[in-house]
Amino acid sequence: MIKILQRYKPISFFFLITICYGLTELDLSNRIMIDGKSDDYEMDENILYDSSGNLLESPSDSYWNEYNDVRQIKVTWDESYLYVAVDASSWDNNVLLFIDIYDDYGIQDMGQLNAWQRSFKFYNFNPDFFVGNWDTNDIPQFWQVEEGGIMQVNQILNMETSATINTGNLSGAMEIKISWETLFFNSDRTLQQYPNIKFLSVITGKDDHANGPDCAPDNLGGMANNSGQLVILDNYANVLIDENGDGNPDINIAPQDRTTFYKTPPFDSESLLIEKFVFSNGKTFAPLKNEEISFSLETNRNAEFHVEIFDLNGKFINYADSDDNVSLSWNWNGKNNNGKYVPFGIYILRLVAESGELSHKEAVVVIK
């Protein structure tokens, strides 16, 4: 029995020393080096793994092969800084990391920015900051959206960043260290008021108004193989930084345990489709008899729409009123946007997804 115990003792010791937990600390500056290498992050700081160790981001899902692919996002923090790394590869293209904190402003259409114009629109979140890097560059740029804006971004200089994303390097990474004062920059923008931070990373083409082949976490509608096609970015990883609400970043917790998603990967992406369109009382109605037209639709995944109404000459008439009690349901009372009844005739309902990825038209008839 003594011999058996002696035989297994080294194995038990090895097992103990190989279990490493990545907990936030008061000071991580001696462990996390901003050198473009992310191997100083522990497993619990990989937010694209779940608590069971399942990888939530495919290492081979890029349209432009493994040399243009996002593989992992790593996040941790101490009392002074947020540390983020993106494991990715880029062959003559770009890597971007988007950061969203505030819900009252941020990028809506990246093609309208004054810098880093790309064919991306955002839905479900609007980034307030982003990190940008290109193939062979070793000092990524950090950009901030002007407070309250959607298009003007300004580069913040003298940030501590590093990258090893060089052509053909499948083990490269992009890193940044951001002070809390940079992210929460005035009394209306505090961690106590905004305790969550959302993250999304993408590969993009190097040219203005290009899109990209891969993002992490995965997109609901997928990416595009055609570099000029508009892509809607609508998923993100959300990390809760200040759960107890004291205005300070929580210490001695595993960032992975604080991570949720708009939609948890992995999943099969699918283009937004209308599966069913219903007019509850037909497509003909008489507004002068206090009749309204009511309609609803069903889609293959969660989405929001608004409904525009036009006459046959293409003139805008009004918006349909949404039913607050029933999802994706509307009605129209036959009045224009000035509150007057429209003339008898045919009118076009144009349903537009708020994400911008789908529109649909239906004709209705106004009678006496």
Encode the chain (368 residues) as per-residue pLDDT tens digits. 333 333 333 333 333 334 457 899 999 999 999 999 999 999 999 999 999 999 999 988 999 999 999 999 999 999 999 999 999 999 999 999 999 999 999 999 999 999 999 999 999 999 999 999 999 999 999 999 999 999 999 999 999 999 999 998 999 999 999 999 999 999 999 999 999 999 999 999 999 999 999 999 999 999 988 888 899 999 999 999 999 999 999 999 999 999 999 999 999 989 899 999 999 999 999 999 999 999 999 999 888 899 999 999 999 999 999 998 888 999 999 999 999 999 999 999 999 998 888 999 999 999 98
pLDDT at 7: 34
C-beta separation of 94 from 172 below 8 A: no
pLDDT at 20: 58
Eight-state DSSP code of residue 266: P
Structure tokens at 140: 């990524």
Residue 104 has φ and ψ, to the nearest 5°, of -110, 5
Angular region, 101: left φ>0, alpha ψ -120 to 50, beta rest: alpha
pLDDT at 10: 38
- Rounded distance between C-alpha atoms, residue 26 and residue 284, angstroms: 67
Question: Which CATH number does 274-366 carry?
Answer: 2.60.40.1930
pLDDT at 137: 97
pLDDT at 325: 85
pLDDT at 4: 35
The number of CA neighbours under 13 Å toward the Cβ of 313 is 3
C-beta separation of 234 from 262 below 8 A: yes
Neighbours of 179 (CB within 10 A): 13
Q: Write down the domain spans for the chain.
A: 21-261, 274-366
Eight-state DSSP code of residue 141: E
Neighbours of 295 (CB within 10 A): 23
CA distances from 79 to 174, 250, 297 (A): 22, 8, 48
Residue type, 101: I
In the block, tokens 């993106």 appear at 86
CA distances from 332 to 273, 294, 309, 350, 352 (A): 23, 7, 9, 13, 16
pLDDT at 368: 87
- Rounded distance between C-alpha atoms, residue 337 and residue 114, angstroms: 35
pLDDT at 65: 94
The number of CA neighbours under 13 Å toward the Cβ of 331 is 14
Query: Quick check: helix, strand or coil at residue 192?
Result: coil
For residue 202, the surrounding DSSP H or E stretch is: strand 196-204
CA distances from 245 to 80, 147, 175, 208 (A): 17, 23, 28, 41
pLDDT at 94: 97
pLDDT at 224: 85
C-beta separation of 106 from 126 below 8 A: yes
pLDDT at 287: 97
